């Protein structure tokens, strides 16, 4: 038996619905032959605890609605936890809450999950100082979730520095959070290997932007901004980088997420290296600017967004 939230009971109107007695047994509330109409719901005061046999659910058209509802409930809880930490101005805990959120999202990036992300970022959009502090945190462990949350904070700080609208700042955050979503299909032993990767392993890693594009389009994402951030963040404007598509007019968001991605990787701790200082990391990226691989203006605006004010 699966407990059904009252709010979505109409999606199960063609199934048998049960109630749970005080003794813990199930008793029939409505037979599957009797269709539950909106009128009946309004008159009848549906009980709080209603159940549907799990086998029936497998065949039900409402299954997706139930999953979406459950996903949004989990996100709601995660958001409440995040809000609590934002209120207490605890940067480390805000980071942990966001990472937890990302772990859940990455574990199953379906539409229901990804649709919840903008709501989470709404909580952060006006937190200028907090985002700045989040972008400065360094971590001892590497996971795609940790990295993605860092990139998100840096991207949103950039949007604030450029005085973009709340909507645009939010979108930058989403692009940052999802830019490496394809890495969920690459074994963790490779992502965290404390050694030089073999060329086969490198080839595998280089597939993640294409995986990203596939995952995002498969779940119906048609936002060019998000898709190009995912696909292009390892491409350079001189045609180098990957995936090799011979493109030179890489989108601004693709380039920006690429710069932030490099910066985060350089400043972060890895099992095999310490994190570089911010200045050293910026200097390393600047050598790509000098070699015409990265747009100078974009780099300068990003650099301004991370220096202490």
Nearer to Fe ion, 115 or 210 (CB): 210
Least distance CB 3 / Fe ion (angstroms) = 40
Nearer to Fe ion, 124 or 262 (CB): 262
CB 262 within 8 A of CB 278: no
Nearer to Fe ion, 159 or 254 (CB): 254
Least distance CB 99 / Fe ion (angstroms) = 17
Nearer to Fe ion, 94 or 172 (CB): 172
Nearer to Fe ion, 125 or 230 (CB): 230
Q: Which candidate, 90, 172, 105, places its Cα nearest to that of 143? A: 105
Does residue 241 come out as left (phi exceeding 0), alpha (psi in the -120 to 50 range) or beta? left
Cα–Cα distance between 228 and 222 in angstroms, integer? 10
Nearer to Fe ion, 65 or 180 (CB): 180
- Can you tell me whether residue 51 is helix, strand or coil? strand
Nearer to Fe ion, 62 or 109 (CB): 109
Least distance CB 106 / Fe ion (angstroms) = 13
Task: Starting at the earlier edge strand, list the strands of the sheet with 26-30.
Answer: 2-4, 50-52, 17-20, 26-30
Least distance CB 65 / Fe ion (angstroms) = 34
E strand spans, the chain: 2-4, 17-20, 26-30, 50-52
Tell me which DSSP letter residue 274 carries. Answer: P
Q: Long-range contacts for 87-95 (Cβ within 8 Å, ≥24 apart)?
A: 89/130, 91/130, 91/133, 91/134, 91/137, 92/137, 94/130, 94/134, 95/134, 95/137, 95/149
Interacting residues with Fe ion (CB under 5 A): 180
Least distance CB 233 / Fe ion (angstroms) = 6
Whose tokens are 């700045």? That residue is: 132
Cα–Cα distance between 213 and 261 in angstroms, integer? 17
Cα–Cα distance between 102 and 145 in angstroms, integer? 5
Residue nearest to Fe ion (CB): 180
Tokens of 296: 């100078």
Least distance CB 185 / Fe ion (angstroms) = 13
Distances (CA, A) of 4 to 7, 9, 10, 62, 169: 8, 7, 10, 10, 36
Nearer to Fe ion, 65 or 261 (CB): 261
Least distance CB 22 / Fe ion (angstroms) = 54
Least distance CB 128 / Fe ion (angstroms) = 26
Nearer to Fe ion, 180 or 264 (CB): 180
Least distance CB 285 / Fe ion (angstroms) = 15
């Amino acid at each position: 038996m699966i407990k059904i939230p009252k709010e979505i009971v109409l999606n199960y109107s063609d199934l048998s619905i049960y109630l749970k007695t005080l003794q813990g047994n199930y008793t029939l509330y409505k037979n599957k032959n009797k269709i539950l109409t909106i009128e009946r719901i309004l008159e009848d005061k549906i009980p709080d605890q209603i159940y549907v046999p799990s086998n029936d659910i497998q065949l039900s058209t409402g299954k997706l609605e139930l999953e979406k509802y459950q996903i949004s409930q989990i996100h709601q809880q995660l958001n409440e936890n995040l809000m609590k930490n934002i209120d207490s101005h605890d940067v480390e805990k805000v980071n942990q809450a966001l990472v937890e959120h990302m772990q859940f999202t990455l574990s199953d990036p379906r539409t229901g999950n990804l649709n919840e992300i903008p709501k989470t970022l709404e909580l952060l959009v006006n937190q200028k100082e907090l985002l700045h502090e989040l972008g400065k945190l360094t971590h001892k462990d590497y996971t795609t979730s940790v990295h993605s949350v860092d990139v998100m904070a840096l991207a949103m700080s950039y949007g604030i520095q450029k005085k973009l609208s709340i909507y645009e700042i939010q979108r930058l955050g989403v692009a940052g959070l999802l830019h490496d979503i394809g890495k969920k299909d690459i074994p963790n032993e490779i992502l965290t290997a404390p050694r030089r990767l073999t060329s086969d392993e490198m080839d595998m890693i280089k597939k993640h932007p294409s995986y990203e594009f596939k995952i995002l389009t498969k779940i119906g994402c048609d936002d060019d901004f998000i898709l190009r951030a995912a696909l292009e963040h390892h491409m350079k404007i001189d045609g180098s980088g990957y995936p090799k598509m011979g493109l030179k007019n890489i989108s601004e968001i693709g380039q920006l997420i690429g710069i932030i991605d490099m910066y985060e990787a350089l400043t972060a701790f890895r099992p095999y290296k310490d994190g570089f200082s911010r200045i050293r990391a910026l200097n390393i990226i600047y050598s790509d600017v000098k070699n015409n691989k990265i747009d100078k203006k974009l780099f300068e605006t990003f650099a301004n967004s991370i220096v202490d004010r």
